[in-house]
């Protein structure tokens, strides 16, 4: 099942690459819509084997600009980046337990380093990591819960947010910083998420960094 909030066209492109896909539009910050998503999956397939909490948002504000973020900004970012994954987990938990499934939360290296697009974003991803640990503890042994923490990833979202020139500059700057001298592509994240779902039998409560080694790079 593929959930989308705005771009049905993009969701349809992804669905076209899948053998059997169900498209559902929902806002995961709304609990009723999260339950609608879970019910749609159960109605079609009768089970839920995996949940990937990939929805997220941010606001680009330099970290030194404390006046650039309002309480409403924090609440909006947390509602999607933290509350949304919790509500989706709660909605899918009974079916995931029955299937002995897995959950993967998409976090960020900003959760560890306090970097990224804004303080609110970094804080929300730290909260998501903490929630990953708690959920792994309470949903075991039936359900494994892990998080992946990417650094810079070359995606259309980055191009839209920064512009093509800005995204290319950010990718070059990132590659120069990290030990592997490269940045991630969507496929790199997809492979890690697939491994955490289909393999990783003894892995739960982990945060897996897919960042070219940024999280171990000494500060400059």
The Cα 72–Cα 180 span in angstroms is 38
Which residue, chain included where needed, has tokens 């909030």?
Answer: 5
The Cα 144–Cα 138 span in angstroms is 10
Tokens linked to 27: 């806002």
Q: Residue 60 CB: number of other CB atoms within 10 A?
A: 11
The Cα 46–Cα 70 span in angstroms is 43
Indicate the helix (H) or strand (E) that contains 148: strand 144-150
- 105 and 124 Cβ atoms separated by less than 8 Å: no
- 157 Cβ contact partners less than 8 Å away, ≥ 6 residues apart: none
- Inter-helix orientation angle 84-99/119-139, to 10°: 20
Which residue, chain included where needed, has tokens 């259309």?
Answer: 156
Catalytic positions, please?
Answer: 121
- 97 and 139 Cβ atoms separated by less than 8 Å: yes
With H, G, I as helix, E, B as strand and everything else as coil, classify residue 29: coil
């Amino acid at each position: 099942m593929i959930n989308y909030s705005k771009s049905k066209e993009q969701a349809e492109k992804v669905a076209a690459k899948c053998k059997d896909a169900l498209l559902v539009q929902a806002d995961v910050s709304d609990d009723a819509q999260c339950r609608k998503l879970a019910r749609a999956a159960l109605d079609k397939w009768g089970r839920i084997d995996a949940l990937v909490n990939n929805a997220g948002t941010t606001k680009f504000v330099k970290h030194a600009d404390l006046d650039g973020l309002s309480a409403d900004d924090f609440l909006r970012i947390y509602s999607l980046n933290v509350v949304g994954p919790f509500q989706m987990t709660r909605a899918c938990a009974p079916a995931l337990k029955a299937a002995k499934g897995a959950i993967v939360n998409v976090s960020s290296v900003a959760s560890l380093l306090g970097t990224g697009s804004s303080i609110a974003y970094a804080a929300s991803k730290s909260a998501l990591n903490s929630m990953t640990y708690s959920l792994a503890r309470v949903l075991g042994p039936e359900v494994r819960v892990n998080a992946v923490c990417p650094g810079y990833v070359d995606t259309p979202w980055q191009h839209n947010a920064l512009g093509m020139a800005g995204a290319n500059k950010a990718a070059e700057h990132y590659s120069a910083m990290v030990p592997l001298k490269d940045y991630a592509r969507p496929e790199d994240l997809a492979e890690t998420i697939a491994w955490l779902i289909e393999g990783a039998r003894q892995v739960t409560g982990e945060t897996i960094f897919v960042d070219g080694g940024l999280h171990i790079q000494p500060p400059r």
